[in-house]
């Protein structure tokens, strides 16, 4: 299945439903801060399982208690619904965090 690249207006509309996410350098991005490295890594593990289930994988960086995630679809050179769907799933993981 070929994904369609979203235009800037479609991306901006989608980002309104994703608190804290922003369009930056051709990706949608967000940074998260946790209490410590262990929590940050546990979050990354949960996201990794979700990303694998969606067959769509993030670009991310972890430094101690922070995780920065950047999503785009390399195959189309931009943002697609796959990126928005994974971002929504990541937000569900964060919102269920205890």
Q: What is the pLDDT of residues 6-50, one digit of tens each?
A: 999 999 999 999 999 999 999 999 999 999 999 999 999 999 999
pLDDT score of 79 = 95
Burial of 38 (0-12, 13-18, 19+ CB in 10 A): exposed
User: Per-residue pLDDT averaged across 38-65, rounded?
Assistant: 96
Residue 26's nearest CA partner among 59, 56, 66 is 59
**pLDDT per residue over 76-95, tens digit each?**
889 999 999 999 999 999 99
Q: Which domains does the chain have, with CATH numbers?
A: 24-95 (3.30.1360.20)
Measured distance CA(96)–CA(74) in Å, rounded: 29
**pLDDT per residue over 69-78, tens digit each?**
999 998 888 9
Measured distance CA(35)–CA(8) in Å, rounded: 35
Measured distance CA(36)–CA(88) in Å, rounded: 24
pTM across the whole model: 0.93
Q: CB 98: neighbour CB atoms within 10 A?
A: 2
Measured distance CA(77)–CA(80) in Å, rounded: 9
The residues pairing with 23 across neighbouring beta strands, listed in sequence order, are: 28
- Residue 63 per-residue DSSP state: E
């Amino acid at each position: 299945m070929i994904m369609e690249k979203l235009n800037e207006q479609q991306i901006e509309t989608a980002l309104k439903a994703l608190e804290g996410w922003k369009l930056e350098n051709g990706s949608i991005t967000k940074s998260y801060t946790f209490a410590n490295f262990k929590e940050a890594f546990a979050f990354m593990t949960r996201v990794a399982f979700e990303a694998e289930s969606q067959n769509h994988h993030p670009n991310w960086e972890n430094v101690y208690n922070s995780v920065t995630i950047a999503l785009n679809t390399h195959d189309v050179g931009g943002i697609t619904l796959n990126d928005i769907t994974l971002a929504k799933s990541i937000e569900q993981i964060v919102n269920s965090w205890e």
